[in-house]
């Protein structure tokens, strides 16, 4: 279990960002864009992509609008070397990024995501799972290999087409082996009706445990004979970044100290929405902000009656597959606005 108590929150002032690690996404930097209320490159009947539907009058699990708008993405998955916390290691990248790129749509749009498997050194199959999506009309695009699809073979491609039938914050990840513990995950934001007011959408805050060993060696240990419990993670990343004490590296891995932590910009007096995601393989996360109370407004893809708390617990283990897919679990998400 991993607990999280480290945050850096800055108000306004310009800062030097002291990491320059090609391949890391803009998430957790001052260049990360805030998010809109919804995407506007599409029809807006009655002022909204979803017309007159509201959180109070619609159960998205029973009905969703159909906008007819296609959101196309092109993903190329490769291996690369990256040092998210200063420790250089092999990771899986989408379009050369870690965490993988953000997916965005309005409620009722259709995602169309073409995935190219260019994983080499070694080659592996892959498949992407769109966490929380109902896939009512497209169960074959749920992305679990050997259940709904064959893995995408090395050098091959597959286009996933499915409706953004729920709204809120979620994520996607590889469902093949333990590839997502090797970095193959990214945020998925579906804009929908608000059930609580806020001023600024800060966007994804991805919490993830992090292993310096290769994911395949972890799988080998956990499913080997005799099986051993999952190893403890080495670190805990926020938006794919964290510092690490290089004196703890004993296996010869390259380590650069003070790699740099994620930075978020807040405006005093405004209410901010944080989209918390536990994208970890094993660790439960507890999220707090020193001296602040947060209001939880949604859990997974479900808007909830807002309630206040000073700690949000995000589990990864609602369901766990322990056959040949250790570290493949279901994950809880939360959307948290907080006033600063």
The contact set with Cu ion (CB under 5 A) reads 131
Q: Could you tell me the two tokens for 299?
A: 């859990």
CB of 316 to Cu ion, least distance (A): 9
Rounded Cα gap, residues 179 and 176, in angstroms:
6
Residue 62 is given by DSSP the state: T
Complete DSSP assignment for 178-208? TGGGGT-EEEEEEE---SS--SEEEEEEEEE
Closer to Cu ion at the Cβ: 87 or 190?
A: 190
Strand order in the sheet with 103-106: 103-106, 185-191, 168-174, 128-130
Q: What is the C-alpha separation between 200 and 272, in angstroms, rounded?
A: 5
Q: CB of residue 323 vs Cu ion: minimum separation in angstroms?
A: 16
Identify the CA nearest to 313 among candidates 292, 325, 299: 299
* Least separation in angstroms between CB 320 and Cu ion: 11
- Got the DSSP string for 21-38? -TTB-STTSTTSPPBPSS
Nearest approach in angstroms of CB 51 to Cu ion is: 30
Separation in Å, CA 134 to CA 15, 130, 264: 42, 9, 32
Pick 261 or 276: Cβ nearer Cu ion: 276
Alpha-carbon distance of 28 to 18, in angstroms, equals 12
Query: Which lies closer to Cu ion via its Cβ, residue 131 or residue 241?
Result: 131
128-130 and 110-117 beta bridge pairing: unpaired
Q: With respect to Cu ion, which residue has the nearer C-beta, 82 or 329?
A: 329
Residue 59 CB: number of other CB atoms within 10 A?
A: 10
Nearer to Cu ion, 26 or 321 (CB): 321
Residue showing the smallest CB distance to Cu ion in the complex: 131
* Comparison of 79 and 131: residue with beta carbon closer to Cu ion: 131
CB of 283 to Cu ion, least distance (A): 15
Least distance in angstroms from the C-beta of 46 to Cu ion: 34
Exposed, middle or buried by CB within 10 Å (0-12, 13-18, 19+), for 14? Answer: exposed
The Cα 4–Cα 204 span in angstroms is: 16
CB 131 → Cu ion: shortest distance, Å? 3
Closest to Cu ion by CB, 87 vs 329, is: 329
Residue 261 or 300: which CB sits closer to Cu ion? 300
Q: How far is the CB of 210 from Cu ion (least distance, A)?
A: 17
């Amino acid at each position: 279990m991993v607990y999280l108590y480290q945050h850096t929150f800055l108000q306004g002032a310009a800062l030097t960002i002291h990491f320059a690690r090609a391949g890391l996404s803009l998430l957790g930097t001052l260049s990360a864009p805030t998010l809109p209320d919804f995407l506007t490159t599409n029809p807006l009947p009655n002022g909204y992509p979803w017309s007159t539907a509201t959180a109070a009058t619609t159960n998205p699990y029973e009905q969703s609008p159909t906008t007819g708008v296609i959101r196309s993405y092109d993903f190329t998955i490769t291996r690369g070397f990256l040092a998210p916390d200063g420790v250089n290691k092999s990771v899986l990248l989408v379009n050369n990024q870690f965490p993988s790129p953000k997916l965005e749509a309005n409620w009722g749009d259709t995602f169309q995501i073409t995935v190219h498997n260019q994983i080499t050194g070694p080659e592996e199959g892959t498949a992407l799972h769109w966490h929380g999506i109902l896939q009512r009309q497209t169960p074959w695009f749920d992305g679990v290999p050997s259940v709904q699809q064959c893995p995408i073979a090395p050098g091959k491609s597959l286009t996933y087409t499915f409706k953004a039938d729920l709204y809120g914050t979620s994520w996607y990840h590889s469902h093949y082996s333990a590839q997502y513990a090797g970095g193959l995950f990214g945020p998925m934001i579906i804009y929908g009706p608000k059930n609580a007011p806020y001023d600024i959408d800060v966007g994804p805050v991805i919490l993830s445990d992090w292993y310096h060993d290769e994911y395949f060696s972890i799988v080998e240990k956990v499913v080997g004979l005799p099986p051993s419990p999952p190893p403890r993670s080495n670190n805990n990343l926020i938006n794919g970044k964290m510092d690490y004490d290089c004196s703890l590296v004993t296996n010869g891995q390259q380590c650069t100290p003070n790699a740099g932590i994620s930075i978020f910009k807040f405006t005093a007096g405004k209410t901010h929405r944080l989209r918390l995601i536990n994208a970890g393989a094993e660790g439960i996360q507890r999220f707090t902000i020193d001296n602040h109370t947060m209001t939880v407004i949604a859990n997974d893809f479900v808007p909830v009656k807002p309630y206040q708390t000073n700690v949000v617990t995000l589990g990864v283990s609602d369901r766990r597959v322990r056959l040949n897919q250790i570290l493949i679990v279901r994950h809880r998400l939360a959307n948290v606005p907080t006033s600063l």
